Amino acid sequence: MTVTFRPLLALGLSAALALPLAAQAAEPEDAIHYRQSALSVMGWQMGPMGAMAQGDIEYDADEFATRANNLAAVAHLPWEGFTEGTLQGDDHGVETDALADIGDDWEGFEERQETFKQEAATLAQMVDDGEEFSALRRQVGAVGKSCKGCHDDFRAE
């Protein structure tokens, strides 16, 4: 087995611990396309909520609730596509914005995933609890911040 995520070994963890087993069998290009698709699904769901939060479109409670629930439901999907040999600088010939830093700081990348999943779950919960738009709007900001935080560290410009 070739090991790309050396820092994990330094910590005494095996790469298999961090990387989902099933996905490791996939070809790098399939994993890259998979995660990019899942991330576009997230972008699609986030878009209208962001637009409502910014006042670009009118707040629609039903649509907002659908988007918030969809986003929370898919929040765990992209990450299994970040398998060995699929980052920038790896030899796969596919265009990707996933920086090699992900491999150098796998733990930091996982923390970013967790923060995002929590913020998305909180938003869906707030919708469920019937919170006012002013509160939902703030939470959309927190979700957006969690997207941006990861992009700033781990995605190419």
Instruction: Point out which residues bind ligand HEC (CB under 6 A).
Output: 32, 35-36, 39-40, 42-43, 46, 96-98, 109, 112-113, 116, 143, 146-147, 150-151, 154-155
Cβ closer to ligand HEC: 136 or 150?
A: 150
The C-alpha atoms of residue 73 and residue 141 are separated, in whole angstroms, by: 18
d(C-alpha 27, C-alpha 5), whole Å: 17
| Closest to ligand HEC by CB, 117 or 131 | 117
Q: Which amino acid type is present at position 144?
A: G
Which residue lies nearer to ligand HEC by CB, 124 or 147? 147
In angstroms, the CA 15 to CA 4 distance is 8
Smallest distance from ligand HEC to CB 138, Å: 15
Q: In one letter, which amino acid is 99? A: L
The residue among 5, 76, 4 whose CA lies nearest residue 35 is 76
In this complex, which beta carbon is closest to ligand HEC, that of residue 59 or of residue 141? 141
Tokens, residue 29: 């290009």
Cα–Cα distance measured from residue 92 to residue 87, given in angstroms and rounded to the nearest whole number: 9
In the bound complex, what is the minimum distance in angstroms from residue 17's beta carbon to ligand HEC? 18
Task: Report the nearest approach of ligand HEC to the CB of residue 135 (Å).
Answer: 18
Min. distance of Cβ 101 from ligand HEC in angstroms?
9
Asked if 28 and 88 touch (Cβ cutoff 8 Å), the reply is: no
**Minimum CB distance to ligand HEC, residue 46 (Å):** 4
Q: Which is nearer to ligand HEC, 8 or 46 (CB)?
A: 46
